[in-house]
Amino acid sequence: MNDNSSVIVSLCSHLCADSCKPFTPSEWTKFAKMLMEKSLQPKDVIDFSTEDFKHILLYTDDEIQRIRSLFDRSGSLTFELEKYSSMGVKVVTRADAEYPRVLKSKLKENCPPLFYYAGDLNLTNRNYAGFVGSRTVDDNDTDFTKHTVSTIAKNGFGVVSGGAKGVDSTASAAMLADGGFCIEYLADSLARKIKKRDVVSQIQKGNLLLISIAKPDAGFNAGFAMQRNKFIYAQSKGTIVVKSDYDKGGTWSGAIEALRNGYCPVFCRNNQKSLGNKKLIELGAIAIDENWDGKLDAPVTKKKDSKEDQLSLFG
């Protein structure tokens, strides 16, 4: 971990943060922009005096105390990171070369400052089809998911999903059973998941990467679940919506966000029994069925955003 990475972890990690509030992703982005405007890097603030914070960054006494409190936990934070590292869980920050490049390319400043992960980060450099959908599925949904996974695997793609029960876990299991490769962007306890024997086996084979913005021992968090949707779409060459509710839930909101921002082509199962699926297709998702050829190179359009040209923050 380089010095810039250490500062990002100190300011943004929720480990050992009982008495101080870590930076949110938006707070980190604001802080990073300020440093860039002053031609500074995160590591430069380690030696900042109170006057430096006040005159260079225009910080108040309360803001300065917060940063100092976050830095003061460095010893216990290092110990905690070593504990998780011994379990196979590590951390990667925006200042590390191993940080998923495709996320930086598509999400730019909306990338989180850090991820916790288990597995080989080089897997993020391969090609993926995203799979999203309801946790509640029937046999027909399951069969469609497995069939579609087989189709995209023949085209050389892996599966990226949220690792949740239902469509996500069905897609990952089908791909891994066929000797393929997967990424799961989790919204809950990474530490608990890596205790499963089959998960450990797939990680050791280099076929599975688990990655999360949530601290490793965290329980399920609806906010994190919503955030990770954009990671799935941004990581993939195209994402398949197997089953969605209408105008509610993470699958719907994630698909709408992806269509609005043009993260990747959005494909949707042409299931006339699902109102959510029908509406997503009306809004621009590409209808597919069991005869789909698995090609993900559909055109993507979106509104031009002024943020598009902003510099990557210490990436």
pLDDT in the model for residue 302: 61
Domain-located, residue 169? yes
Range of the domain at 278: 119-288
The answer to whether residue 240 scores a pLDDT higher than 90 is yes
- Provide the mean pLDDT of the chain: 92
pLDDT in the model for residue 188: 81
Domain-located, residue 206? yes
Domain endpoint, select from 89, 109, 132: 89
For CA atoms 94, 172, 294, 285, give the dihedral sign: negative
286-288 β-sheet, strand order: 90-93, 114-118, 208-212, 182-186, 158-161, 128-133, 238-243, 266-269, 286-288
Cα separation, 225 vs 162, whole angstroms: 8
What's the number of CA atoms in the CB half-sphere (13 Å) around residue 298? 25
pLDDT in the model for residue 93: 97
Domain-located, residue 302? no
Q: How many domains does the chain have?
A: 2
Which residue's structure tokens are 């469509």?
Answer: 167
Domain-located, residue 100? no
| Shared domain check, 19 and 137 | no
pLDDT band at 307 (very low <50, low <70, confident <90, very high): very low
Which residue's structure tokens are 């949530």?
Answer: 214
| Shared domain check, 142 and 257 | yes
pLDDT band at 294 (very low <50, low <70, confident <90, very high): very high
| Shared domain check, 60 and 198 | no
Domain-located, residue 139? yes
pLDDT in the model for residue 303: 46
Structure tokens at 139: 């046999």
| Shared domain check, 265 and 205 | yes
The answer to whether residue 313 scores a pLDDT higher than 70 is no
pLDDT in the model for residue 218: 81
Closest CA to 69 of 131, 20, 122: 20
CB 259 within 8 A of CB 284: yes
Domain-located, residue 306? no
| Shared domain check, 155 and 79 | no
Domain-located, residue 308? no
| Shared domain check, 31 and 78 | yes
Region of poorest pLDDT, from 30-44, 59-73, 143-157, 208-222: 208-222
